Structure 1
């Protein structure tokens, strides 16, 4: 049986996830730990009964909760991996940082990285001592990349999907966009101690499928919308100017410290992504491959033409490709995973 035939398919999603996925999810362990500044960080883990199987740590994107990752967790578990996933501070089930629970905010981007470091060092490797793999999406990919720079020997191999290595600013030149962010942040800090939303950002409001920039899959998108409607505690609105400034600084740090990336990295690029900057992904791969030829084969991202931002929530053709490439990449580096 091929790998693709073992992944859940859209035809099995009939208004909700299949019973086999929801039943599997209920068998997980759900817990929390105290992150930086004692913020409560929630996580989920799914450990195989058979010992010494490889482990994947999923690092999700902005505004997401691990509750959204049930289908992906199921598929990866079925492929023989232990799975760990956490909700970042300020979103999902983890502790919020502002009085307005909808505002996307983090005091320092490094706090995301430090939370992930604690999670892997004290929880993941406590249960599964061998080096884990990382599968990281969007903002989570930026967090994971900064973590791998801080801890070059901690991870066996990584796949970063639609990584947030730069922002897509549309028709506005990046330099002007960054100037606007800096100016608004300065004004915010002068007038108020409360972080403001950036222009056009607001509290959570469900986006119709026709307006969404994340996926072509009507079924997977509806599951996502229903989940956030049912669990309003995980809803998150737009980003604050402070969050943008911290994220831009983190992106600059990633490029400034490329030489510290020793982990083999595969970058999956969504061909029709309009959420993050594809040119930044291209630049990242070109520079990283020169330093570490085992990363970004041929010096370019692995591009999935036609796909939107969320590759693991896309229609089957795009999602199957992303999943197959991820699993094949990890299998290529299984020797590294066996070294604790």
Structure 2
């Protein structure tokens, strides 16, 4: 396994990269960064859909400068982990339970044996949603979780009234591995800066595009109907008012006021129901807050600093 390094985005120091295999025989690429002096524990980074390890090198440096070791991996079907279909551009799973298997394997094979405790989670979008799912199941590896723009529901631009029944019908009747209606193999992060809904920072947007130019296999296009059906099933679970009752994990949810990808009002509503959680909204920010301009990214890091590290879960 390798990490892609370019002049604008070099690999952070002390990286150990490798591969692990899940119980269902999917190979995942992981990397862990050794703890700096005066270590405070380990932050585990969990990416969103269509993302990859290299995109978070800047965030890795920020976390290590704060005294944390860092560990992360590519979800199945993303980055340089094993893809589920012959067409690598299709983002595909049959159930989000598959992502939970990835996360559990990563924790047991990489983090628990080789990374210094205590453990904290920093998740974005889809990755943040998977963290919510494991918290609902009562898995307590992390003292605290910071969830950026979690996928609780789609933003108004994506939440058309017919989307759910259409993808469900297509999935049931054999088109599960096809792109969602209107989807294509066009790489999400390679689209022009003008008109993008992910970040208002042209430099960080260009950096991601440069990484993809250096290694095209990191790119991912639209999701499949099966992926979308699985996502809608998860969102339906989140709508249940009783879903948060079993979550006792300390969680900070951070939304972006200009997010068009996921629903910020849904994040606020879900965050308000958490027993041990809170939420805040960063005004003016777009969906990818860790890739935003310093003005918004600084607010995110300040919120992280205020919340992590906190009181250990098992003092």
Fold match by TM threshold 0.5: yes
**Are the aligned partners of 1:162 and 1:309 in contact in 2 as well (CA < 8 Å)?**
yes
Q: 1:259: which partner in 2?
A: 245
Instruction: Please give the alpha-carbon distance, in whole angstroms, between the structure 2 residues aligned to 1:129 and 1:48.
Output: 7
Task: Identify the match of residue 154 of structure 1 among 129, 141, 165.
Answer: 141
SS at match of 2:277: coil
1:208-287 equivalences in 2 (<5 Å): 208-256=192-240, 257-287=243-273
Q: 2:91: which partner in 1?
A: 104
Task: Identify the match of residue 285 of structure 2 among 297, 300, 307.
Answer: 307
SS at match of 1:58: strand
SS at match of 1:181: helix
Instruction: Please give the alpha-carbon distance, in whole angstroms, between the structure 2 residues aligned to 1:231 and 1:126.
Output: 31
Shift of 1:222: 0.2
1:326 partnered with 2:304:
yes
What are the superposed Cα offsets for residues 223-245 of structure 1, whole Å, 9 maximum, x if unpaired? Answer: 00111111111111101111011
Task: Identify the match of residue 170 of structure 2 among 184, 187, 194.
Answer: 184
Instruction: Please give the alpha-carbon distance, in whole angstroms, between the structure 1 residues aligned to 2:50 and 2:145.
Output: 22
Instruction: Please give the alpha-carbon distance, in whole angstroms, between the structure 1 residues aligned to 2:57 and 2:132.
Output: 24
Q: TM-score, normalised by structure 1?
A: 0.84
**Are the aligned partners of 2:13 and 2:33 in contact in 1 as well (CA < 8 Å)?**
no
SS at match of 2:19: strand
**Are the aligned partners of 1:36 and 1:111 in contact in 2 as well (CA < 8 Å)?**
no
Instruction: Please give the alpha-carbon distance, in whole angstroms, between the structure 1 residues aligned to 2:36 and 2:22.
Output: 29
Q: Which contiguous aligned blocks of 4+ residues in structure 1 show a shift greater than 6 angstroms? A: none
**Are the aligned partners of 1:30 and 1:43 in contact in 2 as well (CA < 8 Å)?**
yes
Compare CA radii of gyration and give the structure with the larger one.
1
Q: How many residues align?
A: 306
Going from structure 1 to structure 2, the CA distance change for 1:239 and 1:127 (only over 3 Å counts) comes to same
Going from structure 1 to structure 2, the CA distance change for 1:165 and 1:83 (only over 3 Å counts) comes to same
Q: TM-score, normalised by structure 2?
A: 0.91
SS at match of 1:160: strand
Going from structure 1 to structure 2, the CA distance change for 1:322 and 1:171 (only over 3 Å counts) comes to closer
What are the superposed Cα offsets for residues 195-245 of structure 1, whole Å, 9 maximum, x if unpaired? Answer: 111111100342100021111111000000111111111111101111011
1:86-101 equivalences in 2 (<5 Å): 86-101=73-88
**Are the aligned partners of 2:41 and 2:68 in contact in 1 as well (CA < 8 Å)?**
yes
SS at match of 1:211: coil
Instruction: Please give the alpha-carbon distance, in whole angstroms, between the structure 2 residues aligned to 1:207 and 1:173.
Output: 23
**Are the aligned partners of 1:54 and 1:82 in contact in 2 as well (CA < 8 Å)?**
yes
Shift of 1:123: 1.6
Going from structure 1 to structure 2, the CA distance change for 1:49 and 1:321 (only over 3 Å counts) comes to closer
Shift of 1:183: 2.4
Q: Which stretch shifts more, 41-50 or 97-106? A: 41-50
Greater percentage in helix: 1
Task: Identify the match of residue 75 of structure 1 among 62, 70, 74.
Answer: 62
